[in-house]
Amino acid sequence: QLHLQESGPGLVKPPETLSLICSVSGGSISSSSYFWGWIRQPPGKGLEWIASVYYSGKTYHSPSLNSRVTTSLDTSKNQFSLKLSSVTAADTAVYYCGRGLESGRTGKWFDVWGQGTLVTVSS
């Protein structure tokens, strides 16, 4: 059974860079059948998509975060990562990683999610 686990600092100072890793077990990230994504949820608020990354190297980022986001896959470690630069208090959230599936031209969804990790941005 596929399992995703987020890891990284729980506290980041502004305006440093937030760095998270999603470790994948029970399956390989080196598959063209899936994509891998990051989603966050500020306390008491809704879900916000951050980025998606494909084994092919293709990446997509939220337009509102695009200039601050870097994502990558590390197939040797079966994990993928997120870096969010110049963080502010508004970036405080639970960060989730997920496995994505797609169908046709517009069908994309996340079928497996990590447990999430709370990242607080504060000096």
When the beta carbons of 66 and 72 are compared against another protein, the nearer one is 66
Q: Which of 7, 93, 89 is nearest to 47 (CA)?
A: 93
CB of 77 to another protein, least distance (A): 22
When the beta carbons of 57 and 107 are compared against another protein, the nearer one is 107
CB of 121 to another protein, least distance (A): 21
CB of 123 to another protein, least distance (A): 27
When the beta carbons of 16 and 62 are compared against another protein, the nearer one is 62
When the beta carbons of 16 and 42 are compared against another protein, the nearer one is 42
Give residues in contact with another protein (CB under 8 A).
37, 39, 46-49, 52, 60, 62-63, 96, 101, 103-104, 106-111, 113-116
Q: Which of 80, 84, 85, 83 is nearest to 98 (CA)?
A: 80
CB of 13 to another protein, least distance (A): 27
